[in-house]
Chains A and B, each alone.
Chain A
Amino acid sequence: MPTVRIPTVLRKHTDNQAKVTADGGTVGDVLRAVAKQYPGIKEQLFDGDTVRGFINVYVDDEDIRYLDGLDSAVAPDDEVAIMPAVAGGA
C-alpha cells in the first residue's frame, strides 16, 4: 500500500503520525482515502475537489503538477508526500 508523508502542521489530524498508509491507484484516491481515515485533514488538504494551491503534493520525487495532478498514478510501493509550500516576500 502506498505511504503518505504528513507534514508536521497536519499531524494533529493523523494521531501524530508522520507517515500513514492509504490505498489507491491515483494520488486523488490516496488522498481521499487519507481524508476518510482522518476526517480532520480533509479541509486542510482540499478546497472542494482540488488540493489547496499552497500545498505541494508529490509521488516519490515528482511534483504532481508535472504529472497528471490528482490523476497521477501511484504504485503500491510509492510514497505520496504532502508539503505546504514555502514562500514569502520582502
Chain B
Amino acid sequence: MVDTLRLDEHTWEALVDHARSDFPFEVCGLLGVDADGEVHHFPISNDERSMTYYVMNPKGMLRAMRQIEDNDWHLVIYHSHTHTQAYPSATDIRLAAYPDATYAIVTLQDRDVPDIRAFAIEDGVVTEKPVARGNSLAA
C-alpha cells in the first residue's frame, strides 16, 4: 500500500480532463503505479452513465486489471464526483471490494478548482492518504 499517492502533473491533468469530459456524469478508471513511481492511466467507461453512480465497464476493467496485476503495479481506482466533495460516499464505501487499492476521487464541485483526494477503504473504514502533485517524484 503506498502511503502517498504521487501524481505527476500530466496524470493530474489527464484525470481532471477525464472528469470534465463527461460532465455532469461521473467518470471512472484505473491507475497503475509502477516501482519507479510512474503512473499508468486507464480511463474506463462508466456503464451507468449517471450523475450519481458509476459502474466500471467490465471488459475495459479486465484489460486494465490484467496489466496492472501482471506488472505488479499498485492499483488505484478513481472516479469523479461532479457536485460533491472528494470524499467516499456511503455507496463508495459499501461497494469497495479492493482493500489493497488506493481509491482516488476527482471532484468538480468547484468547477474552477478541481481537486483529487485519495483513500484506503478497508472493511468499511476510510483512511485518507496524502496526494502529492507535481513532476518531482522524489520521496
* Complex contact A9–B91 (CB within 8 A): no
Category for how many chain B residues contact A:
35 or more
Cα A59 to Cα B86 in complex, Å, equals: 35
Contact for B66 among A62, A81, A84, CB less than 8 A: A81
Contacts of B63 in A (CB 8 A): 61
The minimal Cβ–Cβ distance linking B84 to chain A, given in whole angstroms, is 5
Contacts of B28 in A (CB 8 A): 86
Contacts of A86 in B (CB 8 A): 28, 30, 55-56, 61, 77, 95, 97-98
> Given contacts A56-B61, A63-B58, is CB(A89)–CB(B100) below 8 Å?
no
B51 interface residue, CB < 8 Å from A?
yes
Cα A9 to Cα B61 in complex, Å, equals: 16
> Given contacts A56-B58, A61-B59, is CB(A8)–CB(B100) below 8 Å?
yes
CB closest chain-B residue, reference A81? B62
Cα A68 to Cα B54 in complex, Å, equals: 25
A window 46-88: CB within 8 A of B: 54, 56, 58, 61-63, 65, 81, 83-88
A2-18 interface bits toward B, Cβ cutoff 8 Å, 1 = contact, 0 = none: 00010111000000001
B window 46-65: CB within 8 A of A: 48, 50-56, 58-59, 61-63, 65
> Given contacts A63-B59, A90-B84, A90-B89, is CB(A18)–CB(B69) below 8 Å?
yes
* Complex contact B97–A85 (CB within 8 A): yes
* Complex contact B61–A88 (CB within 8 A): no
> Given contacts A54-B97, A84-B97, A84-B98, is CB(A90)–CB(B51) below 8 Å?
yes
22 contacts between A and B (CB under 8 A): A5-B66, A5-B69, A56-B58, A61-B59, A63-B59, A63-B62, A65-B58, A81-B62, A83-B58, A83-B62, A85-B95, A85-B97, A86-B56, A88-B53, A88-B54, A88-B79, A89-B53, A89-B89, A89-B91, A90-B53, A90-B82, A90-B91
Besides A5-B66, A83-B61, 11 more A-B contacts (Cβ < 8 Å) are: A5-B69, A63-B62, A86-B55, A86-B95, A87-B55, A87-B95, A88-B54, A88-B88, A89-B92, A90-B26, A90-B82
